[in-house]
């Protein structure tokens, strides 16, 4: 059992043994609240800190976009919320509160009962995410019946309903098809039908459109948005594509090397970003909607390996503004600070400096 | 244009072929592709008789001029990669013609093609599988010199180190193996190998789609810098419309083996004529929350039809909201509807002329009022039917 | 269709290769038939009667004809009718080869099938357990035993078990099985010894397959649906793991059906393997030919069955 990290501010003093500390925690008012989540993997090469102190909250009907490059820990986070990490090779600590229930320290059986029913997930590659030997219908029926005590016939009818609702033509026929008989877009629809079969209140979409063509991506994003409105569910959208985030999210969490670099409303993140990494992401992106007069402004270097995370601010070797704070970022890790109401960033630069850099150096070149 | 340098040391080229290799004239394209096509046979039964053909590419024509970048975009299965491979002669075309520097290379044997390989190079998508893991970077980048038997002044090693430096890698890493590099660095190694023989034309097939956003931008910038520095000509094949807008001078949009629109970059992105281009552009999410709901969205229904049995006449008519009877019967030719802007559509947008008018002798034209207003698509958030 | 071609190719190959490889002349063969110290005239008569000196293609033609429509042999004293499929006539035992094979095949069947059931159950369960408890003491112990199993040949484990289980401790009666009517549980020792070897192999195969499968995306999906771990492992994981193992299994059984030579020899069970072995020892060419052909037939049939089953198990194969 993972022991709570005692650095946190949540009544840490009351915690002295594993059994007692559930009482010490205060359930939050938010629908989903993640507090100081840490997911570490001990390996032969060293401890991989895939997620290292992540906190965020999400209400019903809202969408949180988690953005980051490969190895930033965004997918590990989503699997962590669902409790899908094997505790034998991963240490998970912190708290995950879903609708008043804490998940990190709950029994595996309790978390399993919530998976698929209260929280569900759709994955990047719908072909490999579905079992090749079972029909699409069978897989949806299975997902439905594990949480609902109904007959196979009722479940099958439900599966056909769901396939129809996600826009699959002739659902009563396609229900008996195997995944490989579906096209990529149809498979992702079927995957969504499966995830939504038990009306989950939290839907986690991990790069749901990365493997799809752009016209199909648009269909799937529309579908997720519509279904969210219909079910009033909370959605976590994990992606590397800032365009997808801008279209769908209410809030954005930018992850870098397992930590949160910036956490803001979508407007703030795109129009008043306060972290050099966010600037870098925006500067790296070619635009479809206008011609960029200047060259792209890439971030130098490559994302760090999680075994050898740079000291201090993990971003400092790639940061163009590191000297401005006199080398502080090389030694001291910046805390995630709420610089403006609802806008958090982890950077040593002063707010004034960052605002000036954004307005004078970054924004004009985007 | 220094052809004599390129032909020096060619021993396998016959006199006739060398006579072909004249310097291209002013205004003549570096690469000219005419009605190029590739049909992959589908066979069945014991005798492997051909029962059908996958029409991967079905007659595309375009030209690329020296120093420019042509972008080829389209969804999976549109034939863009097949086209690229045919230009490289990695695939033999089923029909059509490829003319490079005034020489018809369509049917040229691999032996005669060999000296040309120096001028034609390719960058591949996957920086992981396109580099031999058992060879050092030096061996990989230096291979073209050895294959073409080229002597360099200070030896291959120096030449390779220069190349590594050119693409932004540490020349000291000469003896390292590919797995010691990150994805972006591997793509740089691939580019260095490509540049070794100073090619004239580079076909880049999804050069950045396997890379992280920040690294992607590095490679895009590198390609642009190299183009300026070395006077390169690119054909960039990509599914990412934003990347193509950034890097290309002219853009060809492909759908089911055909080019449906070909125009200058800004023309194509700002005034797309073909409904498919329009739909494609409006499907791309824009990284600006302000634009949410502000854009008119066109949502195509369904998936791309199978290239095994493409729809007759205009191939897009099954998904097109503007389709009329004529679209199912007469294939719209790819014609210039405004200067430098070609589209293959009976009812193009952003213009007053249409393919139907142009080929009015086809005489099928029903009261073809071009562009019947706005597409019947709702604003953002309109649920697709069936949901 | 393709299978028939393969069978024909095999008969052709063995017919032409076996006599040459054995290095026997037609005189030798005739000599064996004639008995002790035959004179040249008798030999010539025998060769003539059986066509030993005919060109090889002609002999081959006769052989094939025998298989398809049957043949009649003249032993000098009387004529023996050998109905199709006639694979020849053994001059050693004065028996038709087909008869001998039909006699022996059920015995080999019993050995192979009994062992197969044992090794699949044992091998797969150990493999699954090992994969799920990867890295634990259970896994290591199982894999150590498996390594031993793969390395120890049947003649070693067989003789060892005979020496201890049967003779020293007298836990089981000695292996006595020469007819399909006998109590099949007399075969328990050969089953275990043969199964030990294969179970070890299958445990390793299953473990490797299972480890790979449990990392697949669809396993993650199954867990994300909230399925109990039991369902995830057995319904989703094992099903995908077993499909490739099924292929190996079919071929292994097919191979054994052609004769579990070492096992039969070790336990002195008169199966097809013994038959073939005796044929080789005694240069009884028709028997060697017949046994080889039978073995090839079983392997080809097993291949066919595996292909069909694959289509049943994997819908992707069915639809392509």
User: How is C90-143 classified by DSSP, letter by letter?
Assistant: ETTTTEEHHHHHHHHHHHHHHHHHHHHHHHHHHHHHHHHHHHHTTTSHHHHHHH
Mean pLDDT (10-residue bins), chain A, 366 residues: 40 38 67 95 91 94 93 92 90 94 94 94 92 95 95 96 92 94 91 93 93 88 91 94 92 95 95 95 88 80 86 92 84 92 93 93 86
pLDDT at position C247 is 87
Residue from C29, C66, C70 nearest C47 by CA = C29
Read off the pLDDT band of B69 (50, 70, 90). very high
What residue has token string 């580079």? B202
Q: What is the pLDDT of residues C121-139, one digit of tens each?
A: 999 999 999 999 888 899 9
C224 chain-A contacts, CB cut-off 8 A? 82, 84, 115-116, 120-121, 123, 195
More confident residue, B365 or A242: A242
Task: Tally Cβ neighbours within 10 Å of residue C318.
Answer: 11
pLDDT at position A327 is 80
Read off the pLDDT band of C22 (50, 70, 90). low
Q: Closest Cα of chain A to C222: distance in Å?
A: 8
Sorted by sequence, the CB contacts under 8 Å of residue A84 that are 6+ apart come out as A115, C220, C223, C224
pLDDT at position B366 is 42
**Is it the case that residue C233 has pLDDT exceeding 80?**
yes
Provide the domain limits for residue A342: 275-365
pLDDT at position C23 is 60
Average pLDDT over residues B265-291: 91
ipTM confidence: 0.85
Residue from A177, A171, A217, A236 nearest A197 by CA = A171
Provide the domain limits for residue B307: 256-362
Domain C101-319 class? Answer: mainly alpha
- The H or E element spanning position A213 is none
pLDDT at position A136 is 96
The torsion region of residue B59 among left (phi > 0), alpha (psi -120 to 50) and beta comes to: left
Closest-CA residue of C relative to A130 is C218
Average pLDDT over residues B317-334: 92
Euclidean distance between CA atoms A58 and A251, whole angstroms: 9
Read off the pLDDT band of B4 (50, 70, 90). very low
A neighbours by CB contacts (3+ pairs under 8 Å): B, C
C225 chain-A contacts, CB cut-off 8 A? 115-116, 120, 142-143, 146, 194
C231 chain-A contacts, CB cut-off 8 A? 146
Which residue among C218, C226, C229 places its CB closest to the CB of A131?
A: C218
Would A151 be classed as within a structural domain? no
Q: Which of C:73-132 have CB within 8 Å of A?
A: none
If interface means Cβ-Cβ distance under 8 Å, which residues of chain A face chain C?
A: 79, 82, 84, 112-117, 120-121, 123, 125, 128-133, 142-143, 146-147, 178, 180-181, 191, 194-195
Would B155 be classed as within a structural domain? no
Would A265 be classed as within a structural domain? no
A130 chain-C contacts, CB cut-off 8 A? 218, 221
Read off the pLDDT band of C180 (50, 70, 90). low
Q: Closest Cα of chain A to C131: distance in Å?
A: 14
Euclidean distance between CA atoms B116 and B7, whole angstroms: 9
Q: What is the pLDDT of residues C60-87, one digit of tens each?
A: 777 777 777 777 766 666 677 777 777 7
The helix, strand and coil proportions of chain C, stated in percent and rounded to the nearest 5, come to 75, 5, 20
Euclidean distance between CA atoms B324 and A225, whole angstroms: 32
Would B274 be classed as within a structural domain? yes
Q: Is the dihedral of CA A182, A184, A190, A194 positive or negative?
A: positive
Would B17 be classed as within a structural domain? no
**Is it the case that residue B2 has pLDDT exceeding 60?**
no
- Give, to the nearest 10 degrees, the angle between helix C285-313 and helix C272-281: 150
B220 chain-A contacts, CB cut-off 8 A? 286, 296, 298
How many CB pairs below 8 Å do chains A and C form together?
A: 75
Would B356 be classed as within a structural domain? yes
Q: What is the pLDDT of residues B119-140, one digit of tens each?
A: 999 998 877 788 888 999 989 9
Residue among C225, C231, C236, C317 with most chain A CBs within 10 A, to mutate: C225
Closest-CA residue of A relative to C316 is A180
Question: Side-chain half-sphere of B266: how many Cα atoms within 13 Å?
Answer: 4
- The H or E element spanning position A36 is strand A32-43
Answer whether A142 sits within 8 Å of C226, measured CB to CB: no
pLDDT at position B328 is 93
Answer for the pair B256, B307: CB distance below 8 angstroms, yes or no. Answer: yes
Closest-CA residue of C relative to A121 is C224
Residues in chain B: 387
Q: How many domains does chain B have?
A: 1
Strands A32-43 and A46-58: antiparallel
Would B158 be classed as within a structural domain? no
Read off the pLDDT band of C21 (50, 70, 90). low
Would B340 be classed as within a structural domain? yes
Domain ranges of chain C: 2-86, 101-319
Task: Tally Cβ neighbours within 10 Å of residue A70.
Answer: 15
Would A162 be classed as within a structural domain? no
pLDDT at position B362 is 43
The structure tokens listed for B69 are 């970048």
Q: Closest Cα of chain B to A361: distance in Å?
A: 18
Answer whether A286 sits within 8 Å of B269, measured CB to CB: no
List the single range of A191-195, B183-187, B325-329, C37-41 with lowest mean pLDDT: C37-41
C313 chain-A contacts, CB cut-off 8 A? 133
Residue among A86, A112, A114, A131 with most chain C CBs within 10 A, to mutate: A131
Which residue among B285, B300, B301 places its CB closest to the CB of A241?
A: B285
**Is it the case that residue B369 has pLDDT exceeding 50?**
no
The structure tokens listed for B233 are 């000509």
Would B6 be classed as within a structural domain? no
**Is it the case that residue C192 has pLDDT exceeding 80?**
yes
Answer for the pair A334, A313: CB distance below 8 angstroms, yes or no. Answer: yes
Read off the pLDDT band of C37 (50, 70, 90). low
Strands A234-239 and A202-206: parallel
Q: How many domains does chain A have?
A: 2
Would B271 be classed as within a structural domain? yes
Which residue among B242, B279, B286 places its CB closest to the CB of A215?
A: B279
Q: Closest Cα of chain A to B291: distance in Å?
A: 8
pLDDT at position C35 is 61
Backbone angles phi, psi at A259, to 5 degrees: -125, 165
Read off the pLDDT band of B363 (50, 70, 90). very low
What integer best gives the mean pLDDT of chain B? 82
pLDDT at position C157 is 86
pLDDT at position A272 is 94
**Is it the case that residue B43 has pLDDT exceeding 90?**
no
More confident residue, C166 or B218: B218
Would A165 be classed as within a structural domain? no
How many CB pairs below 8 Å do chains A and B form together?
A: 162
Euclidean distance between CA atoms B190 and C284, whole angstroms: 65
Would A111 be classed as within a structural domain? yes
Euclidean distance between CA atoms C62 and C153, whole angstroms: 40
Residue among A67, A218, A230, A273 with most chain B CBs within 10 A, to mutate: A218
Euclidean distance between CA atoms B116 and B199, whole angstroms: 9
B282 chain-A contacts, CB cut-off 8 A? 218
Using a 10 angstrom Cβ sphere, with 0-12 exposed, 13-18 middle and 19 or more buried, the burial of residue B76 is middle
Read off the pLDDT band of C49 (50, 70, 90). low
């Amino acid at each position: 059992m993972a022991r709570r990290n005692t650095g946190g501010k949540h009544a840490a003093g009351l915690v002295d043994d594993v059994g007692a500390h559930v009482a010490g925690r205060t359930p939050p008012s938010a629908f989903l609240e993640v507090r100081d989540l840490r997911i570490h993997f001990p390996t032969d090469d060293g401890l991989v800190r895939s997620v290292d102190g992540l906190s965020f909250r999400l209400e019903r009907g809202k969408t949180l976009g988690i953005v980051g490059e490969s190895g930033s820990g965004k997918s590990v986070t989503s699997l962590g919320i669902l409790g899908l990490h094997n505790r034998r090779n991963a240490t998970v600590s912190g708290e995950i509160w879903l609708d008043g229930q804490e998940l990190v320290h709950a029994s595996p059986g309790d978390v399993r009962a919530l998976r698929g029913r209260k929280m569900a997930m759709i994955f990047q590659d719908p072909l490999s995410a579905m079992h090749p030997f079972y029909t699409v219908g069978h897989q949806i029926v299975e997902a439905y019946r594990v949480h609902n005590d109904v007959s196979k016939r009722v479940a099958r009818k439900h599966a056909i309903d769901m396939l129809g609702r996600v826009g699959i033509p002739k659902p009563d026929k396609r229900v008996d098809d195997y995944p490989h008989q579906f096209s990529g877009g149809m498979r992702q629809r079927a995957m969504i039908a499966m995830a939504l079969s038990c009306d989950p209140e939290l839907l986690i979409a991990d790069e749901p459109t990365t493997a799809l063509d752009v016209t199909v991506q648009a269909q799937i994003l529309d579908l997720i948005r519509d279904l969210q409105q219909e079910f009033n569910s909370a959605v976590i959208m994990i992606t590397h594509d800032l365009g997808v985030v801008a279209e769908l999210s209410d809030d954005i969490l930018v992850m870098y090397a397992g930590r949160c670099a910036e956490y803001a409303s979508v407007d703030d993140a795109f129009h008043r970003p306060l972290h050099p990494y966010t600037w870098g992401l925006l500067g790296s992106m070619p635009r479809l909607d206008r011609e960029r007069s200047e060259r792209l402004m890439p971030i130098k270097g490559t994302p760090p390996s999680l075994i050898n995370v740079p000291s201090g601010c993990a971003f400092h070797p790639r940061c163009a503004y590191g000297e401005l704070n006199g080398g502080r970022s090389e030694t001291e890790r910046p805390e995630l600070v709420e610089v403006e109401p609802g806008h958090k960033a982890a950077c040593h630069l002063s707010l004034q400096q960052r605002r000036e850099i954004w307005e004078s150096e970054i924004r004009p070149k985007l | 244009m220094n052809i004599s340098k390129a032909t020096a040391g060619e021993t396998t080229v016959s006199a006739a072929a060398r006579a072909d290799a004249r310097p291209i004239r002013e205004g003549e394209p570096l690469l000219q592709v005419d009605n190029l096509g590739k049909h992959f046979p589908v066979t069945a039964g014991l005798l492997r008789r051909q029962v059908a053909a996958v029409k991967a590419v079905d007659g595309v024509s375009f030209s690329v001029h020296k120093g420019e970048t042509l972008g080829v975009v389209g969804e999976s299965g549109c034939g863009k990669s097949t086209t690229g491979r045919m230009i490289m002669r990695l695939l033999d075309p089923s029909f059509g013609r490829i003319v490079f520097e005034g020489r018809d290379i369509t049917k040229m044997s691999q032996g005669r093609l060999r000296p040309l390989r120096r001028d034609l190079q390719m960058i591949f998508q996957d920086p992981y599988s396109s580099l031999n893991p058992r060879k050092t970077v030096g061996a990989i980048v230096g291979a073209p010199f050895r294959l073409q038997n080229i002597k360099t002044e200070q030896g291959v090693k120096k030449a390779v180190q220069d190349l590594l430096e050119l693409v932004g890698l540490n020349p000291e890493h000469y003896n390292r193996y590919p797995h010691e590099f990150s994805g972006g660095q591997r793509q740089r190694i691939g580019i260095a190998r490509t540049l070794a023989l100073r090619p004239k034309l580079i076909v880049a097939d999804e050069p950045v789609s396997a890379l992280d956003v920040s690294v992607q931008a590095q490679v895009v910038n590198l390609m642009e810098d190299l183009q300026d520095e070395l006077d390169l000509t690119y054909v960039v094949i990509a599914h990412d419309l934003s990347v193509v807008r950034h890097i290309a001078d002219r853009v060809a949009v492909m759908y089911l083996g055909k080019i449906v629109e070909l125009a200058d970059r800004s023309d194509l992105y700002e005034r797309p004529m073909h409904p498919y281009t329009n739909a494609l552009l409006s499907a791309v999410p824009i990284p600006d929350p302000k634009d949410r709901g502000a854009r008119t969205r066109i949502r195509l229904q369904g998936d791309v039809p199978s290239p095994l049995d493409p729809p007759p006449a205009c191939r897009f008519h099954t998904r097109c909201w503007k389709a009329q009877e004529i679209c199912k019967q007469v294939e719209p030719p790819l014609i210039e509807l405004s200067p430098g802007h070609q589209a293959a559509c009976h009812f193009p947008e952003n213009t007053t002329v249409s393919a139907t008018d142009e080929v009015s002798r086809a005489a099928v034209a029903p009261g073809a009022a071009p562009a019947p207003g706005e597409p019947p698509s709702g604003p953002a958030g309109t649920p697709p039917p069936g949901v | 269709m393709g299978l028939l071609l393969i069978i024909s190719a095999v008969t052709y190959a063995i017919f032409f290769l076996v006599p040459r490889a054995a290095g026997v002349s037609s005189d030798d063969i005739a000599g064996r038939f004639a008995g002790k110290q035959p004179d040249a005239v008798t030999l010539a008569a025998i060769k003539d009667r059986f066509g030993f000196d005919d060109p090889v293609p002609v002999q081959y033609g006769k052989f094939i004809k025998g298989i398809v429509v049957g043949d009649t042999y003249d032993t000098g004293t009387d004529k023996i009718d050998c109905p199709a499929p006639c694979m020849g006539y053994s001059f050693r035992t004065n028996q038709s080869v087909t008869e001998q094979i039909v006699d022996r095949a059920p015995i080999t069947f019993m050995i192979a099938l009994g062992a197969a059931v044992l090794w699949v159950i044992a091998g797969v369960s150990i493999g699954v357990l090992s994969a799920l408890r990867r890295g634990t003491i259970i896994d290591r112990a199982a894999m150590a035993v498996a390594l031993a199993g793969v390395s120890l040949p049947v003649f070693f484990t067989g003789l060892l078990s005979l020496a201890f289980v049967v003779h020293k401790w007298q836990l089981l009666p000695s292996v006595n099985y020469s007819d399909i009517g006998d109590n099949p549980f007399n075969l328990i020792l050969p089953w275990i010894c043969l199964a030990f070897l294969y179970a070890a192999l299958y445990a390793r195969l299953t473990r490797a397959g299972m480890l790979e499968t449990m990392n697949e995306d669809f396993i993650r999906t199954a867990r994300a649906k909230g399925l109990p771990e039991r369902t995830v492992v057995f319904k989703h994981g094992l099903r995908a793991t077993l499909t490739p193992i099924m292929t190996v299994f079919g071929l292994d059984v097919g191979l054994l059906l052609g004769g579990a030579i070492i096992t039969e020899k070790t336990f002195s069970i008169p199966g097809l393997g013994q038959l073939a072995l005796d044929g080789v020892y005694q240069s009884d060419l028709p028997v060697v030919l017949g046994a080889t052909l039978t073995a090839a037939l079983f392997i080809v049939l097993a291949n066919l069955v595996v292909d069909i089953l694959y289509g049943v198990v994997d819908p992707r194969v069915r639809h392509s």
